[in-house]
Amino acid sequence: MQSKAKQQEFADLSKHLTMTRNGGRNYNGGGNHSGRGGNGGGGGRGRGQGGGGRGGARARGPPQQGQNQGGGGAYRPPAPLQQVQGIGVGLTSGEWNGQPWSASSVAGQSSSQPVSRKLPEQALPDIKELEISEKKPSSSIPGGSSEKKIVPIKRPDNGGTLDFRNIWLLANHFPVKFNPQSIIMHYDVDIKPNMPPGSLAAKRTISKSDLRLITDKLFSSDPTRFPEQISTYDGEKNIFSAVPLPTGTFYVELSGGEDTAPRSYRFTIELVNELKVSKLNDYSQGMLSNAPREVFQAMDLVMKDNPSRHMFPVGRSFYSKEFRPNDDLGYGIAASRGFQQSLKVTAQGPAQCLDSSVLPFRKQLPVLDFLTKQGFQLTDVSTSRREVMREVMHVLKGLKVHVTHRQTNQKYTIAGFSDKNTRYITFTLEDREGENPPREISLIEYFRERYNREPRDQDMPCVDLGKGNRKNYVPMEFCVLVEGQRYPKEHLCRDQALSLKQMSLARPRDRMDTICGMVRSEDGPCGDVARKFGIEVEKDMTRLSGRVMEPPVLKVRSSTGNVEVLRITDTDKCQWNLLGQSVMEGMPLNRWALIDFTANDRYNKLNPDRFIPEPES
């Protein structure tokens, strides 16, 4: 009875449908083979409440009385009909359950049968073309006999008909070999100050450099349980190890240097996961549908461990700490050569992708020497020369420095400068032990008594190395720039920018030699840590087959207005001689725009008034 009732409802609904070959959008009560599903029918790719099955018939509701036939209003039957699930034209409809469509799933939606009726002849060819595919989608689940494995797409090395010769190509991908039996232990790390909960010191954020120092101190103090050469740390929350590490909470004391009390930290380490490297083979063989990201993350971090210990890390790149004589850009700036590395997934397995890079860095110089190389006269660096001090502030503010009057490796950031010159700075000195009353003392006298050092350049201001409202004035001659500080490219002068560009745009042969030399160097990704994880990188680039296509024919218009055909005869140079030639058909540029990328360039800004003069009226 239920089936007959649905058939009757479908028959009533079919009275309001007009089958066409050019059906557009679905309307209420209709279906569409390629548009949006209607409220009551089986749309081809529909979103309709009652539709959604593939292959629904194309339908368009007839216009209502008084309504334009080509209007945009949706057609509605005279009386509202109950939504019919499981009924459609040519395909059983219903709500999608998240599974791939197949003949069995469609047939099981409803036991009712479509009502046969006579359709217009113009709609019959469309209905005949609708078929239900019984082919099941491929699956990546191992063990299935009928499912196909998901494998990478093969290169079309045997195809192509437009080439006239074959060549061998070298890609900057270096195959990575690994031990499929190895397991990488993934640990979560939480480092906090060892202070009472709720105190301000306990809430203090620990810098990344201190996190690295704390971890290195723990591993170096107990190398038996924490082997440093078989583990790697990402500088934040993760440690990957080739052997099991002890878990729990450990206490580490970090010395702050001279005149600074040691700081205590709680180091908590917990095992998160055991990563099986064999999943890489499973993924390459199509046994896994998704790449094992955790394994790739661990291997990528392991391969970056060696260069991060010997080079400057900048993002995903690493740059050498040694500057060549020819890499000096002047003004206290030098170009550092480095590389960018990342682990890639290829059809042959994991590969290390390396590319060379060049960046400008500030040299590790005393602050006064750096100012001299920047073009400043030290006699002009005074609080009385406000314009000069603004330039000095622009050059030095935000840079990190070491101090030479204390035995410490601590890094300080230049926050500003003193309002007075060095000889006029005084402050109140308090006795830490409370034996002597506070007294007023000059900065020069304090350095003489405390460090047995007296500043020579007393007529220039001091740098402020304090944090927040707490001032910490230090004479500039006692400060040295920390190595590895980038210099913005937009601040380079024209000659410096050209020199850096020439270093970056190397010839293909030179670029290849540079990249291969980085792989073979002691600072490269092939370090001892990677080898102890069972990971090795081949020293030669990946060789691929390539095809050289025939040079195309170029049609131009000569100076006389005739059409000429240019063919390339020298296949080695592959160049056209366009001297005296023009395009086939010129078109006027009625609207155009110019994008200026020199807004942040201090020396080479574009002058739009000179570059694009105003047209004369």
Dist. CA 113–CA 93, nearest whole Å = 12
| Cβ neighbours for 341, distance < 8 A, ≥ 6 positions apart | 303, 304, 307, 316, 317, 318, 352, 353, 354, 525
Which portions of the chain are predicted below pLDDT 70?
A: 1-160, 256-260, 602-603, 616-617
Dist. CA 572–CA 590, nearest whole Å = 40
Task: State the pLDDT at residue 8.
Answer: 60
Residue of 245, 273, 276, 272 whose CA lies nearest to 182: 276
Phi and psi at residue 423, to the nearest 5°: -70, -15
Dist. CA 287–CA 280, nearest whole Å = 10
| Cβ neighbours for 120, distance < 8 A, ≥ 6 positions apart | 18, 19
Pull the structure tokens for residue 561.
């207005």
Task: State the pLDDT at residue 171.
Answer: 93
Task: Give the SS3 label for residue 544.
Answer: strand
Phi and psi at residue 228, to the nearest 5°: -75, -30
Question: Mind listing the pLDDT tens digit for each residue in 302-334?
Answer: 999 999 888 988 988 999 988 888 899 999 999
Residue of 361, 365, 366 whose CA lies nearest to 314: 361
Phi and psi at residue 42, to the nearest 5°: -100, 85
Instruction: Name the burial class of residue 365, with classes exposed (0-12), middle (13-18) and buried (19+) by CB atoms within 10 angstroms of its CB.
Output: middle
DSSP codes, 247-303: -EEEEEEE---TT---EEEEEEEEEEEEEETTHHHHHHTTS-SS--HHHHHHHHHHH
The alpha-helical segments, DSSP class H, found in 130-187 are: none
CA-to-CA separations, 386 to 368, 380, 398, 539, in angstroms, rounded: 18, 10, 19, 56
- Decide: 353 and 300 in contact? Cβ < 8 Å: no
DSSP state, residue 196? -
- Decide: 21 and 123 in contact? Cβ < 8 Å: yes
Phi and psi at residue 602, to the nearest 5°: -75, -30
Residue of 479, 475, 480, 427 whose CA lies nearest to 455: 475
Task: State the pLDDT at residue 42.
Answer: 40
CA-to-CA separations, 151 to 42, 142, 349, in angstroms, rounded: 35, 13, 11
CA-to-CA separations, 279 to 181, 242, 283, 437, 519, in angstroms, rounded: 10, 16, 6, 70, 26
- Decide: 388 and 382 in contact? Cβ < 8 Å: yes
DSSP state, residue 362? E
Dist. CA 595–CA 19, nearest whole Å = 53
Dist. CA 247–CA 473, nearest whole Å = 43
- Decide: 331 and 496 in contact? Cβ < 8 Å: yes
Q: Which residue has the tokens 């002849």?
A: 121
Task: Give the SS3 label for residue 609.
Answer: helix
Strand order, beta sheet including 416-421: 416-421, 461-464, 473-474
- Decide: 523 and 307 in contact? Cβ < 8 Å: yes
| Per-domain residue ranges of the chain | 1-134, 367-482
Dist. CA 544–CA 184, nearest whole Å = 32
Query: 367-482 in CATH: which number?
Result: 2.170.260.10
Beta strands in 132-172 (DSSP E): 163-171
Question: Mind listing the pLDDT tens digit for each residue in 104-114?
Answer: 333 344 333 44
Question: Mind listing the pLDDT tens digit for each residue in 543-565?
Answer: 988 888 888 889 999 888 899 99
Task: State the pLDDT at residue 157.
Answer: 59
Dist. CA 547–CA 164, nearest whole Å = 8
Number of neighbouring beta carbons within 10 Å of residue 447:
18
Biggest CA pair distance of the chain: 112
Task: Give the SS3 label for residue 411.
Answer: coil
